[in-house]
Structure 1
Amino acid sequence: MKTKITQEIIDGTVWGGQDVIVRDAELHGFFLSVSKRAKTFKAQADIKVGGVRRTKRQTIGNAELLNVQIARKLAEKWFSEVRDATELNRVHSSISLYDLLEEILIRGGLKAGRRHLHEKLRNLRRWFPDRANEPARQLNDACLMCAYGEVKAKFGVTTAESAMRLLRFIKDNDVRNEMAGLSRQLIDKSLQHSKPGYSNDRSIPLENLSEWYRRVQILPNPLRRNMHLFGLYTGLRPAVYTRLQKDDIDFETQVAHVRACITPNNHSFDCFLSHESVAILEEVFELHAAFGISSKLLFPAKSSSDRDIPSITREKSMPGLTGSVLRNTHRVVAQKMGMARDLSMILAGGRRRPDRDMLQELDFQNLSRGQKQAHSRRITDLLKSSSGGA
């Protein structure tokens, strides 16, 4: 649909089950996009770089907050900048990697680039001192692997990953197509395999859980021992279970009421507690009474037992074996048991539960409790396998 976009058009266009695009008859390439979540002004331009046609899109702003006349002027400015960048590509036969990054950062529309302009440029010279001033067109896959090895040897694996992300940023925003000789897939591959032992999906091998339990049991702080076990049994995020309060626990119904304000996705849910989790919490309450801990939190920091400061979840004596790795281990156990991924995510608070129209409330609770108890029993078996009991 093509018509002049006015405020009446914006107000009258609604999402009816599928996305709607209203193209402006006054400014070619300017259009209104209506999705389920928002109404957005966008601009689109087709350019030729090195004989290859490329389509670029830019989000101008939220149509419910931005005046249509202002949005049209911003789109005109963006079109002008895109044309200027295309013209520069025809005039200059080559540009250095440093100058290319600087051009990308000062170009309108890249807000994140403007915020970190100096930092990105400084890092480019620091990580690629020999290649920063060389023509960007000379950078190919062989140069990429060589540069990755140099950065890794000099600064370490973590910095090498950051260097690859910087090159990916330049590659993705290169309207000149100067880096055509560099493979985007190779950059992604280097990021996937550079730190195989430190990915977000890292978990404790199930055959090592008994040894892990032995090391937890010799920790000097009994409250922290229970905190790690509670994280493994429930699968909750560390940022969630360290902020749980004593009032959130309902022993009668065996439920932990997780408040929305302590979840990253800002939604509350009930975490069903197995018998093992209840036993852990009962011991925690006894420790609070024995040591006179007045904090509302279940697991307060050791130095602030009278204040509501969450405990740090990672143990210095057990690097890589506490914190988020316990949530991932919880999921691995669920997968090995054949539990549906959606249900395991719901039980660990990673996804909203189904609507009541799709699944009856009572059936969902019974299913969740049964699966949770079976899951906890399996964890207990793994902990007891050669450790003398859990």
Structure 2
Amino acid sequence: MADIRILINDKAVSDLKAPSSGQYRARDTQLKGFHVIVGRRSKTFAVQGDLRKDGKRIASISVRIGDGEAMSTREARAIAKAYLAQISKGKHPNPKPALLIEQPGSASVSRDNTAVQVDQRTEAAPKGITLSQAWQRYRDAHLIRKGRSDGTIEGYRDHVERLFKNWRDTPLKELAEDPAKVITRHDEITKEHGPYIGNGSMRTLRAVYNHARRAHRYLPADNPASVVDWNSEKRRNTAMGLEDLPHWFRQVAALQNPIRREFHLFSLLSGCRPTALMEAQPQHLDLRRRTLHIPRPKGGADRAFDIPLSRQMILCLLRAIRFAHHFYPFQAKKWLFTAESDSGHLAEQKEDRKVLAKWGNELRQTFRTLATPAGVSEFDARLLMNHAIPGVNAGYISRHKLLEDHLRAQQQAISNTIFCALGNMTSIDPTVRSWLGPHATRRAIEAAKREESGAVRGFDRRHLAKAAVTSLRHSPSSHLGRENLPGA
């Protein structure tokens, strides 16, 4: 039976039919030299390659790896990569000394002329660049030089220094020649931290290795991360619909920290990534142009953009600024969303799911979802979210020319759709009214000042904010403003 070519995986191997007589080979379409020998009663993984010395072909060998029915294709592929790497250096990966016949010179040839073992007396190659050295070079020469964001750099650093902690002093060449070690680590990270982090760590290793190989050509061409079986990744379906918004607004209104309330609301209204929004500064806000500049989003400074602001978004920022100046006057000079952190701004946006069901990137997904009922096109939604525009037409679009009128109108349509879903909650729901009702911010700050000068003088700012909110929820309601917008 003639040899065939297939993508070798567990299912494909199990489906291979036994020949009526003799045997045939099923060769892999991805890894040259890797194949399955199919006989009448067995299936065996094997590799085939040419042994060379001084650039000259000495012999062609075929080395068996293991039983195709007892070994997984994942394990066999990893071993095949290691064997082929040794064969390319003139070394037999599984020599049998008893079968070798000594020959003059530096090589030993077997009786059946199918295996050659190159003399090992030559000087060993240097170990070469380590993972830690390669990472430092990649960070300085690629990430920092290209203006990648601090969050992006921190993500890479976390993978190398935490997840690959035991490999930091390991030469990259050693990882490339022992792919089973990489597969095992990917499996461990997946089990301990989940499939997304497992894949992400391997992408980091792949990027660092590829960058290092540009300057260190002795590194094998096969990237060590290429041997892993990537975990299945599905886009998270966690966005809210219009019917979910009233409950979410009640949860946000019940949060004790008023600045965190405004941060979550602005995340929803803008669709901005939370890590970029946390570092927003007063100098980035231009009320005349009604924009908020994001200087270092995902992708670095080259992806900087302006967020057009709707009326609701402006009121949200004004509330955040007023609360910041009262509770954190020193930090408010530098940051919009202040906090008692080392940096002075919000450093953690996670909430207990029982307290707030949706936050972070889930609000970004909600923004994109609600853009459709708001009548915003996919193209405009991409621009508002600072997504890359596919196709050759992207280079002809001047985003800032659309910003002043068109994109702001689209932003306003999304904000209106979100607030229309609340109905009359800002007037009849006491929790939401204490947050978004007319003059709510002024009353909250005045209540905090009274508490500050009264019995709770010794409490910290968080206690004062809590007292202010409690006081507001027992205050009488008042009518809505002319435009039915949340008050500042």
TM range (shorter): 0.5 to 0.7
What is aligned with 1:215? 251
- Give the whole-Å Cα distance in 1 for the aligned partners of 2:312 and 2:338: 21
Alpha-carbon distance, 1:54 to partner: 2.2
Tell me which amino acid in the other structure corresponds to 1:213: F
Alpha-carbon distance, 1:320 to partner: 4.8
Maintained 8 Å contact 1:256/1:271? yes
In the TM superposition, what whole-angstrom CA distance separates every residue of 1:167-198 from its partner, at most 9, and x where no partner exists? Answer: xx99x859xxxxxxxxx9xx98x754xxxxxx
Which structure 1 segments of 5+ residues have no match? 1-48, 58-75, 128-150, 175-183, 193-198
- Give the whole-Å Cα distance in 2 for the aligned partners of 1:230 and 1:213: 12
- Give the whole-Å Cα distance in 2 for the aligned partners of 1:160 and 1:268: 27
Residue 348 to residue 159, structure 1, CA distance change in 2 (3 Å): closer
Maintained 8 Å contact 1:334/1:375? yes
Tell me which amino acid in the other structure corresponds to 1:205: G
RMSD across aligned positions (CA): 4.6
Residue 369 of structure 1 pairs with residue 432 of structure 2: no
Residue 113 to residue 321, structure 1, CA distance change in 2 (3 Å): farther
- Give the whole-Å Cα distance in 1 for the aligned partners of 2:418 and 2:259: 20
- Give the whole-Å Cα distance in 2 for the aligned partners of 1:160 and 1:311: 22
Residue 200 to residue 286, structure 1, CA distance change in 2 (3 Å): same
- Give the whole-Å Cα distance in 1 for the aligned partners of 2:425 and 2:315: 21
Residue of 362, 367, 379 corresponding to 1:342: 379
Which structure 2 segments of 5+ residues have no match? 1-23, 33-51, 89-171, 203-222, 437-488
What is aligned with 1:249? 285
Match of 2:255, SS state, is coil
- Give the whole-Å Cα distance in 1 for the aligned partners of 2:28 and 2:182: 32
Tell me which amino acid in the other structure corresponds to 1:51: A
Alpha-carbon distance, 1:282 to partner: 0.8
Tell me which amino acid in the other structure corresponds to 1:203: A
Tell me which amino acid in the other structure corresponds to 2:338: P
- Give the whole-Å Cα distance in 2 for the aligned partners of 1:111 and 1:339: 51
Alpha-carbon distance, 1:302 to partner: 3.0
Match of 2:387, SS state, is coil
Alpha-carbon distance, 1:351 to partner: 3.2
Residue 315 of structure 1 pairs with residue 340 of structure 2: no
Match of 1:270, SS state, is strand
In the TM superposition, what whole-angstrom CA distance separates every residue of 1:215-268 from its partner, at most 9, and x where no partner exists? Answer: 100100000000000000111011111111111001111100110x34335411
Tell me which amino acid in the other structure corresponds to 1:226: E
- Give the whole-Å Cα distance in 2 for the aligned partners of 1:160 and 1:235: 22
What is aligned with 1:38? none
Tell me which amino acid in the other structure corresponds to 2:309: L
Residue 290 of structure 1 pairs with residue 326 of structure 2: yes
Maintained 8 Å contact 2:324/2:337? no
Alignment of 1:145-156 (within 5 A): none
- Give the whole-Å Cα distance in 2 for the aligned partners of 1:286 and 1:280: 10
Maintained 8 Å contact 1:301/1:309? yes
What is aligned with 2:29? 54
Match of 1:50, SS state, is strand
Maintained 8 Å contact 2:78/2:227? no
Residue of 100, 103, 120 corresponding to 2:76: 100
Residue of 223, 241, 244 corresponding to 1:205: 241
What is aligned with 2:184? 121
Alpha-carbon distance, 1:101 to partner: 6.0
Residue 319 to residue 290, structure 1, CA distance change in 2 (3 Å): closer
Match of 1:256, SS state, is strand
Alpha-carbon distance, 1:121 to partner: 2.2
Residue 87 of structure 1 pairs with residue 40 of structure 2: no
Residue 361 to residue 244, structure 1, CA distance change in 2 (3 Å): closer
- Give the whole-Å Cα distance in 1 for the aligned partners of 2:399 and 2:78: 57
Alpha-carbon distance, 1:360 to partner: 8.8
- Give the whole-Å Cα distance in 2 for the aligned partners of 1:52 and 1:332: 46
Match of 2:238, SS state, is coil
Q: What TM-score do the two structures reach when normalised by structure 1?
A: 0.55
- Give the whole-Å Cα distance in 1 for the aligned partners of 2:383 and 2:286: 19
Maintained 8 Å contact 1:243/1:262? no
Alpha-carbon distance, 1:315 to partner: 0.9
Residue 360 to residue 54, structure 1, CA distance change in 2 (3 Å): closer
Alignment of 1:14-33 (within 5 A): none
- Give the whole-Å Cα distance in 2 for the aligned partners of 1:383 and 1:113: 56
Alpha-carbon distance, 1:318 to partner: 3.6
Maintained 8 Å contact 1:299/1:311? no
Residue 300 of structure 1 pairs with residue 276 of structure 2: no
Match of 1:88, SS state, is strand
- Give the whole-Å Cα distance in 2 for the aligned partners of 1:378 and 1:103: 57
What is aligned with 1:325? 362
- Give the whole-Å Cα distance in 2 for the aligned partners of 1:160 and 1:352: 25
Match of 1:87, SS state, is strand
- Give the whole-Å Cα distance in 2 for the aligned partners of 1:346 and 1:112: 45
Match of 1:300, SS state, is coil
Maintained 8 Å contact 2:328/2:338? no
Structure index of larger Rg: 2
Maintained 8 Å contact 1:300/1:311? no
Alpha-carbon distance, 1:298 to partner: 1.5
What is aligned with 1:5? none
Alignment of 1:123-202 (within 5 A): 158=194, 173=227, 192=234, 199-202=235-238
Alpha-carbon distance, 1:336 to partner: 2.3
In the TM superposition, what whole-angstrom CA distance separates every residue of 1:96-137 from its partner, at most 9, and x where no partner exists? Answer: 34853652674659989649854642675x79xxxxxxxxxx
Residue 329 to residue 371, structure 1, CA distance change in 2 (3 Å): same
